[in-house]
A and B are shown apart, each in its own frame.
Chain A
Amino acid sequence: MIAVALEALQLLLVLALAPLLTGIVRQVKARLTAKRGPAPWQPYRDLLRLLRKEVVLAPNASWLFRVSPYLIFTTVWLAAAIVPTFTTGLMVSRTADLIALVALLGTARFALALAGMDVGTSFGGIGSSREMMIASLAEPAMLMVTFTVALLVRSTSLPQIAEFMVTHAVGIRVSLFLGLISLVMVAIAENARIPVDNPATHLELTMVHEAMILEYSGRHLALLEAASMVKLLLYLSLIAAVFLPWGMDIGGFGPRAVAVGLASYAVKLGVGAVLLGVFETSIAKMRVFRLAEFLGGAFLLGILAAIFLYVSQGL
């Protein structure tokens, strides 16, 4: 009974916190560029406003165009609920391991790319094409990080990984450090953040994610914006669960442990949001075709991390 309540709590928590997280990132970026910026809860207002608006569809938009936002949002929301946030004891976290999680996000991206191509404009094609290029490099990098972590923990199950990192003396390990850097680079690419893509740009030729959702409006756009906010929260939770899991409740569901878990999760999210804002302000966006080198670097770090771990385990 408690387990079911906590699973529902996790599902609602990731949805409720996501817009706040994006709001904090925007607030940090504004302050660092000497502006006041909107309040951190502005994204909630934006989403509510969009939800109430009428949807405008192109004449040749198909059923795929109308169904995709719901599918994408639900998939990303479910994926975010699968990643352990404040406790490792939930059964929903076992329905998909790290590899299946990457693939689930791949399904969402497949639907989004198709939706971008649906109306038949050139900008949708630009977005889809570039997004798939980024995916073709970021996914393997993420799988290499999974490989490294799985080599160490002997498991790809997320609750297991978090428990291992908390209970075992892992020590300072170069492989994990390289894996963390690689995962952060992948997270930046997947969430369409600077230096990969500018989420606030209005120049269509520089867009990747925004170009795919260019033709969306009203409740569809609200769902897609919410999906990208939840995705940001997902990646921050993932980094926290895999590399910095201290504070999580390890399956006991005791009230004090859960409270500590929730508090540490909130702290990690907040710190992550601030760091992301600082990082985005301090660096410029890359040219599109330099992205291959950036993501190739992430892939390479993943492979190096796996090789180093192999070596130190084989001695």
Chain B
Amino acid sequence: MLSALTVGLGLYAGAALLGLAGRRAPSPVYLTAAAAGGVIALAALWRLAAAAEPVAAVLPLGLPWLGAHFRIDALSAFFLLIVNGAAVLISLYALEYGRHDDEPGRVLPFYPAFLAAMNLVLVADDAFIFLVSWELMSVASWLLVLSTPRQPETRPAAFLYLVMASFGTGALLLGFGLLSGGVGSYAFDALRGAALDPTKASILFGLAVIGTGSKAGLVPLHVWLPPAHSAAPSHVSALMSGIMTKVALYGLVRILFDLMGTPPWWWGVVVLMIGGATALMGVLYAVMQHDLKRLLAYHTVENIGIIVIGLGLALAFRANRLDALAGLALVAALLHVFNHAMFKSLLFLGSGAVLVATGERDMEHLGGLIHRMPRTAFVFLIGSVAISALPPFNGFVSEWLTFQAILAGSVLPQWLLKFAVPVVGAMLALSAALAAVCFVKAFGVVFLGRPRTPAAAEAREVSLLMVAPMAGFAAICTLVGIVPILLVDLLRPVTAMLLPGSGTALPESNLLWLIPFGLERSSYSGLTILLAITLLAGVLVVAIHRFASDRARRSPPWDCGFPDPSTETQYTAGSFAQPIRRIFGSTAFAARERVDMPEPGDARAAEFEVTLRDPAWEGIYAPVAGLVSWLADRLNVLQFQTIRRYLSLMFAALVLLLLIVAVSQ
């Protein structure tokens, strides 16, 4: 495995150098990156399937007295599989997409570096390498976000991203410092065995959640995610949304489950509530968007919330020594990690295809693309159904398992947990239903109906080179949806490693049945359902066409007797979301609608205005930014002093320090 990793990383480095070499053609870079990803992904898959022992290595790099520790165990292998498997498909997509870049020199060197940095985070075995790789990942992705400087939204988005990433890394730095301070070494092996007093452990918990959560997009640290993910080019957005957020969650799982031993029960409550709030707020934000990429980015926030709910349940069960149930919750969370990486990448690649074909990202300017771009529409449809957690695709499987874990939460003894679990279950149910609303809107407004602008009416299907990777993601979504045991098998070594007392996860499941506890408790068979639907539908089609009627003719639509040739009378994204905006938005976002109707006889157009306020931004970030500005203004006085004043300041500082030394003697 280590050799495969070295080869892969070498190939990534090679691709980065090729990009730096200033050549304009994107193919060599992306092909090399795809090869690198393929090598590592296959090795990781083999390692998980064989449930091999962890391998470790120490290299004489970095700090001289520390060295660089690397380690590949089951958890790393699983995330390596996700990162590199998706990287292969995304790089193949970028072969064609990269030709539409205005300035390839800004993207090509940093894309493989970004991938390499993510791989390094996953195999880091000491705090130093972990943090260095984490920062490398942040800087590479920041440079990628900046790769379109001529769009007005890019610079503010990149700036915000840099601030939040630095904040997150700072929190992690403090956390690791706290953890290794008592132990004296940075290596994870040493940190694993360290016993911490409860106060220190709690502070560490908070710092870990803030540090990794800001990168993953937990509410209220999510504000950087939508602007940055929508400003970046589509293949990079797919990487950032689908993959980098998962690497952040890897950090959270590694710290909370591996490095910190048995947690106290209240950590589970905190993580659960944060997860529930993130899921609900994320999907509510998403429903209000009419820019396709921002909608997808906010939706990532929702799915991160769902994963974190699973992690919170696992923590709560573990704290109460119910390791088998913790294993189930962890499997549900990690399964959703995989599933989300797959369908979110698919959806972002699809939005990239739409952007290439029409030049538009705003849903209000699209429409009717199912006729012009049938293959893209088909794979985007599969992605939409998968992300809405509908059978028989993979999104449903992981959400179903999360629900089963929530239902099992009734055995938890602490009263606060007893109440938190059904409340979070209600939030999860609500966000799952709203996700379906979101994607009916997204698919319906973009692909269905009639084209709203000439750009949409004249779109052309993108090349097969871009459709094939999307089809690959769609095929994985379908496969995992109908035979989920394949992925559960790969996850069994991971739960066995992190939760030694949990036994085999989902013991009674097989190719046909997914059974979390036992047949009499709950069961799901995606394959049977798909086969039954296909069979029944086939019989129905044949029977009706044969015995009833198969005639069809085209004619103008009924539209209540007044068919309107203007495409403006269709439902828009904003009008589709109006009921949801009225019901939920008026509390969550203080959504207000204002209609300005002209008097009868006045021929001017009516105006409709919707105002939404972001509670996280106005409640937290705007005041903090205001405070920092105020402080900076006050301290700015120091820039304009005379030489005499500066000298007296230094004199005063010196006298103060001497005083302190004198007094403390």
Q: Do A and B bind each other?
A: yes
For A78, the closest partner residue in chain B by CB is: B532
Contacts of B445 in A (CB 8 A): 117
For B518, the closest partner residue in chain A by CB is: A155
Residue contact B388 to A155, C-beta cutoff 8 Å: no
For A303, the closest partner residue in chain B by CB is: B426
Q: What is the count of residue pairs linking A and B with beta-carbon distances less than 8 angstroms?
A: 256
Contacting residue for B555 out of A58, A110, A151, A299, CB 8 A: A58
Contacts of B388 in A (CB 8 A): 106, 110
Residue contact A155 to B521, C-beta cutoff 8 Å: yes
B579 touches A (CB below 8 Å) = yes
Given A74-B540, A214-B560, A307-B422: A59 in contact with B552 (beta carbons within 8 A): no
Residue contact B529 to A156, C-beta cutoff 8 Å: no
Rounded to whole angstroms, the CA-CA distance of A105 and B425 in the bound complex is: 20
Given A57-B555, A133-B583: A51 in contact with B544 (beta carbons within 8 A): yes
Contacts of A99 in B (CB 8 A): 400, 403-404, 522
| CB contact list, A122-162 vs B, under 8 A | 122-126, 128-130, 132-133, 135-137, 139-140, 143-144, 147, 150-151, 154-157, 160
Contacts of A122 in B (CB 8 A): 559, 564, 569-571
Residue contact B560 to A123, C-beta cutoff 8 Å: yes
- The binding surface of chain B is classed by DSSP as helix
B375 touches A (CB below 8 Å) = no
Contacts of A94 in B (CB 8 A): 519, 523, 525
Stretch at the interface among B25-33, B311-319, B366-374: B366-374
Rounded to whole angstroms, the CA-CA distance of A164 and B370 in the bound complex is: 49
Binary CB contact string for chain A from 194 to 234 against chain B (1 if under 8 A, 0 otherwise): 00000000001000000000110011000100000000000
A235 touches B (CB below 8 Å) = no
Binary CB contact string for chain A from 21 to 62 against chain B (1 if under 8 A, 0 otherwise): 000000000000000000000000000000111111111101
A279 touches B (CB below 8 Å) = no
Residue contact A74 to B570, C-beta cutoff 8 Å: no
Residue contact B425 to A143, C-beta cutoff 8 Å: yes
B interface, how many residues as a size bin?
Answer: 35 or more
Residue contact A107 to B450, C-beta cutoff 8 Å: no
A306 CB, nearest partner CB in chain B, Å: 5
A interface, how many residues as a size bin?
Answer: 35 or more
B554 touches A (CB below 8 Å) = yes
Contacts of B569 in A (CB 8 A): 121-122
B562 CB, nearest partner CB in chain A, Å: 10
Contacting residue for B444 out of A71, A128, A151, A310, CB 8 A: A128
Binary CB contact string for chain A from 54 to 80 against chain B (1 if under 8 A, 0 otherwise): 111111101110100011011101100
| 10 pairs from A and B in contact (CB 8 Å cutoff) | A75-B533, A96-B391, A96-B525, A106-B388, A114-B440, A114-B443, A129-B575, A132-B440, A157-B520, A303-B426
Contact residues of B with A, CB < 8 Å? 367-368, 370-371, 374, 381, 385, 388-391, 396, 400, 403-404, 406-407, 410, 415, 418-419, 422, 425-426, 429-430, 432-434, 436-437, 439-441, 443-445, 448-450, 519-525, 528-529, 532-533, 536-537, 540-541, 544, 548-549, 551-560, 563-564, 567, 569-571, 575-580, 582-583
Contact residues of A with B, CB < 8 Å? 51-60, 62-64, 66, 70-71, 73-75, 77-78, 92, 94-97, 99-100, 103-104, 106-107, 109-110, 113-114, 117-126, 128-130, 132-133, 135-137, 139-140, 143-144, 147, 150-151, 154-157, 160, 204, 214-215, 218-219, 223, 288-289, 292, 299, 303, 306-307, 310, 313-314
